[in-house]
Amino acid sequence: MRHLKTKHTLWVTTLLLLVTGALCAQDIRGDWQGTLEAREMRMIIRISKQLDGSLEARIIRVGENVPDWGSGNRANSVSLEGSDFRFTVDSMKVVYEGKLSAGGNSMTGTLTQGGSLPLELHRATKDTAWRDPVPHTDQFVTVDQDVRLEVLDWGGSGPPLVLLAGMGNTAHIFDRLAPKLIHQFHVYGITRRGFGASSRPFSGYSADRLADDVLRVIDALKLNRPVLAGHSVAGEEMSSIGSRYPEKVAGLVYLEAAHAYAIDDAALSCSLPPAPPQKASPKTVQAAIQAGTQRYTSIRAPALAIYAAPKEGTPPNGAAPARDGCAKAFAKGAPLSRIVRVPGATHYVFLSNESEVLKEIRSFVGGLKK
């Protein structure tokens, strides 16, 4: 009898170890969807791995007024211990604590933001995934070994216009702008490697490599000399192309993107600081991109640089002198350029001052040589 009890105990212990091991080994990367019923609010929790293998999560509120369907707010901490999952988003004062099901396809837990509300999450599949409401088609283009980029196509008629997002954003950040351009252009958007639905490899984040990714997409889609319009850090990708392969594009539009990572001139106070020595591999994609910046001094493609500017009569903010220096450096290093300052705009100038940006893009492209 004692032998049978011992055998039974060993069997139960083995089963528990197997179940616990399966939970610990669960790959929870992907999109998890749920609805806060009390607030009638849908949300997506996008879980991925950082370059060092640790988990990253972003929370995306689902709705028509979401600025970037593919990005969302980044969690400050994420953990999975056994079946217990937890993340916090300090900017939203959000804490989520849930328990992963044995099958690994659902979580039951509580989201705390002021009060605590039940939130059950389900792993999204190809058939169940929630889609953003802006009409477009999406595809994935292979640009490197095991690296595929998400490419959005909003349609349209006219010459090709390719939109490039800034740091942390995806091509969906242009979901509001793109539909207003389709009457003059065929509009595409690219999500760079490491973000959104694009692949997240461990390497390939230097400015030239990211620019080569853009060129691979252009070639794959058979686009003839498109205009590239990029926001923020996308300026380094456009400057890489404009300095190395200006014949590949008809023009470049810098949307608050013509800063030191896009044009370098120390004499005009527009230059990147010396890169600190790398003691270890970058932990995050953002850190890898910052470590991979390069210096561009000559841009040989026609270019439009749009800068945000303070409102008249108000003292300039801390970034204004740097913008002024880089604007002068850009005019010098990109002789075929036009500089535009938009009063009262934010860094997301195409969102804060959409009508001015649309007008300037149309005017710039209309003046390009065919």
Helix (H, G, I), strand (E, B) or coil at 336: coil
Residue 3 CA to residue 13 CA, distance in Å, equals 15
Q: For the segment 202-243, what is each residue's pLDDT rounded down to a tens digit?
A: 999 999 999 999 999 999 999 999 999 999 999 999 999 999
Structure token pair of residue 327 = 């604007």
The residue with tokens 């242009």 is: 174
- Asked if residues 190 and 223 have their Cβ atoms less than 8 Å apart, the reply is no
Residue 264 CA to residue 223 CA, distance in Å, equals 29
Host H or E run for residue 61: strand 55-62
Query: Which of 3.40.50.1820, 3.40.50.300, 3.40.640.10, 1.20.1250.20 would CATH assign to domain 137-366?
Result: 3.40.50.1820
**CATH no. of 30-123:** 2.40.128
Q: Which residues contact 54 (CB under 8 A, 6 or more apart)?
A: 78, 283
The Cβ of residue 365 has, within 10 Å, a number of other Cβ atoms equal to: 21
Identify the burial level of 207 via C-beta atoms within 10 angstroms of its C-beta, where 0-12 means exposed, 13-18 middle and 19 or more buried: buried
Beta strands per DSSP E along 210-260: 227-231, 251-255
Residue 311: the pLDDT is 64
User: How many CA atoms are closer than 13 Å to the CA of 202, on its beta-carbon side?
Assistant: 4
For residue 27, which amino acid is it?
D
Confidence of residue 321 (pLDDT cuts 50, 70, 90): low
Domain ranges of the chain: 30-123, 137-366
For residue 3, which amino acid is it?
H
Q: How many residues does the chain have?
A: 370
For residue 22, which amino acid is it?
A
Q: For the segment 139-156, what is each residue's pLDDT rounded down to a tens digit?
A: 999 999 999 999 999 999
- Residues facing residue 77 across a β-bridge: 88
pTM of the model: 0.82
For residue 291, which amino acid is it?
A
Range 159-183 average pLDDT? 95
Residue 39: the pLDDT is 77
Q: For the segment 293-303, what is each residue's pLDDT rounded down to a tens digit?
A: 999 999 999 99
Residue 108 CA to residue 39 CA, distance in Å, equals 17
Confidence of residue 358 (pLDDT cuts 50, 70, 90): very high
Structure token pair of residue 238 = 């456009």
CA dihedral 164, 311, 180, 257 (to 10 degrees): -10
User: How many CA atoms are closer than 13 Å to the CA of 283, on its beta-carbon side?
Assistant: 4
